[in-house]
């Protein structure tokens, strides 16, 4: 008896009902495989689309906060505002200065260390906040190396020892002579325990064999007010904030702390000329919290390099006794490590410690 066939489309014979179960199972398996392939393609398409939609906008997409760890009106505040203005113009987003003063800059640095790791919070750091304060304070609240991402060095600077111009001290020798005759009777102001101007005075006392009494303030601005009024005889301060008062005749500069005399004060000796071996040189730079994406740090650092190397910035920093000195992240990290090693024995010898 001839086999029956059923046409399904032109030229596609299928077996009779006795072959159907095997053929159906094969067809089902093929169908499942085709459906699985389609679902996989669909999932990949949806996933790719979702990932594209979920991508963050290019950084920076909103304003950036720059933490200044000292009060308004001081050298740190002035530098923060200058950098904020220029950096904002370079990045195309506003940079807002947030003053978070107290405890030698450590309160502001604590806030920076705990900020989101997205590059929208940065801070002005210097050798005080990342070297002196961590060595002086028993509980500083942050690790100067592990809790931060170095972004860029901005400047090198030296401090200047200033007295009220109407006071009795005409030279550094006058001040040291009076301190030797009256141990502990002469007060000095500083921007706070553990700041570079605090340790500048402690180093001077230790290396010249005299004793001063320390009066810490919450920043250099209020300290300077009392020196100008004659309430406190002297202080070490940043060149940037002291120069206008020196030029106006209200302050007298007795010495600077760098290796060589300052271009802005060529007739003022270095402390090292009177006390051999004395040297205090600082730096300032920008830090971010640890863990900020590498590409964000690179963008920030490149923008700061452009800012610092402009003729306007070079003139601005020079007029305030600073030396513009851009350094990339690795260089700033090296400065922190180097200065921690240098200052640790100095702080220990001075006995300066804050609980």
Query: pLDDT of 24-41, one tens digit each?
Result: 555 555 555 655 555 555
What is the Cα–Cα distance from 226 to 167, expressed in whole angstroms? 13
- Is the domain of 104 the same as that of 167? no
pLDDT tens figures, 247-300: 999 999 999 999 899 989 999 999 999 999 999 988 999 999 999 999 999 999
Residue where a domain terminates, one of 274, 296, 330: 274
CA distance 174 to 178: 6
d(CA 145, CA 162): 33
Top pLDDT among 200 and 288 is at 288
Asked if 323 and 226 sit in the same domain, the reply is: no
What is the rounded CA–CA span in Å between residue 317 and residue 335? 20
What is the average pLDDT across 76-96?
Answer: 97
Q: 12-39 in b/e burial notation, b at 16+ Cβ within 10 A?
A: eeeeeeeeeeeeeeeeeeeeeeeeeeee
Report yes or no on 333 lying in a domain.
yes
173 shares a domain with 148: no
Q: Determine contact, residues 282/191, Cβ cutoff 8 Å.
A: no
Task: Verify that 189 and 136 share a domain, yes or no.
Answer: no
Name which of 83, 77, 67 is nearest 326 in CA terms: 83
Work out the mean pLDDT of the chain and round it to a whole number.
Answer: 87
- Listed residue (114, 156, 109, 89) closest to 287, CA to CA: 109
pLDDT on residue 214: 94
Domain tally for the chain?
2
> In terms of domains, do 238 and 264 share one?
yes
pLDDT for 131 equals 93
Q: Which helix (H) or strand (E) holds 235?
A: strand 234-238
- Please tell me the pTM assigned to this model: 0.73
pLDDT one-digit tens code per residue, 109-140: 999 999 999 999 999 999 989 998 899 888 89
Q: Do 193 and 291 share a domain, yes or no?
A: no
Q: Which two tokens stand for residue 71?
A: 């009060």
pLDDT band at 4 (very low <50, low <70, confident <90, very high): very low
DSSP string, 122-153: EEEEEHIIIIIHHHHBS--SS-TTTTEEEEEE
Structural domain includes residue 244: yes
Question: Last residue of some domain: 253, 274, 295?
Answer: 274
- Give a yes or no: residue 204 inside a domain: yes
Confidence of residue 310 (pLDDT cuts 50, 70, 90): very high
- Domain residues for 97? 64-155+282-350
Domain termination residue (choose one: 254, 274, 294): 274
């Amino acid at each position: 008896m001839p086999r029956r066939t059923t046409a399904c489309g032109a030229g596609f014979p299928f077996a009779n009902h006795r072959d159907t179960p095997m053929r159906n199972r094969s067809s089902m398996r093929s169908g499942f495989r085709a459906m699985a392939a389609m679902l996989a393609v669909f999932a990949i398409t949806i996933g790719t689309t979702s990932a594209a939609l979920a991508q963050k906008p290019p950084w920076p997409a909103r304003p950036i906060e720059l933490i200044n760890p000292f009060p308004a009106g001081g050298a740190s505040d002035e530098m923060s505002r200058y950098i904020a203005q220029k950096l904002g113009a370079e990045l195309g987003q506003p940079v807002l200065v947030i003053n978070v003063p107290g405890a030698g800059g450590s309160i502001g640095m604590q806030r920076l260390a705990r900020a989101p790791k997205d590059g929208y919070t940065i801070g002005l750091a210097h050798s005080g906040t990342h070297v002196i304060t961590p060595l002086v304070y028993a509980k500083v609240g942050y690790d100067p190396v592990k809790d931060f991402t170095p972004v860029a060095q901005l400047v090198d600077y030296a401090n200047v020892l200033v007295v009220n111009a109407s006071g009795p001290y005409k030279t550094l020798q006058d001040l040291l002579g009076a301190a030797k005759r009256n141990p502990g009777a002469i007060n000095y102001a500083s921007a706070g325990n553990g700041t570079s101007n605090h340790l500048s005075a402690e180093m001077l006392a230790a290396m010249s064999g005299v004793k001063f009494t320390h009066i810490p303030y919450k920043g250099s601005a209020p300290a300077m007010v009392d020196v100008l009024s004659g309430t406190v005889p002297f202080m070490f301060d940043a060149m940037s904030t002291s120069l206008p008062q020196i030029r106006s005749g209200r302050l007298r500069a007795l010495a600077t702390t760098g290796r060589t005399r300052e271009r802005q004060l060529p007739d003022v000796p270095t402390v090292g000329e009177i006390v051999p071996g004395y040297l205090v040189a600082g730096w300032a730079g920008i830090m971010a919290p640890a863990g900020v994406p590498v590409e964000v740090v690179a963008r920030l650092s490149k923008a700061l390099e452009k800012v610092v190397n402009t003729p306007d910035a070079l003139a601005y920093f020079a007029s305030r006794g600073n030396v513009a000195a851009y350094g990339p992240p690795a260089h700033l990290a090296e400065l922190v490590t180097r200065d921690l090693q240098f200052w640790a024995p100095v702080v220990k010898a001075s006995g300066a410690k804050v609980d």
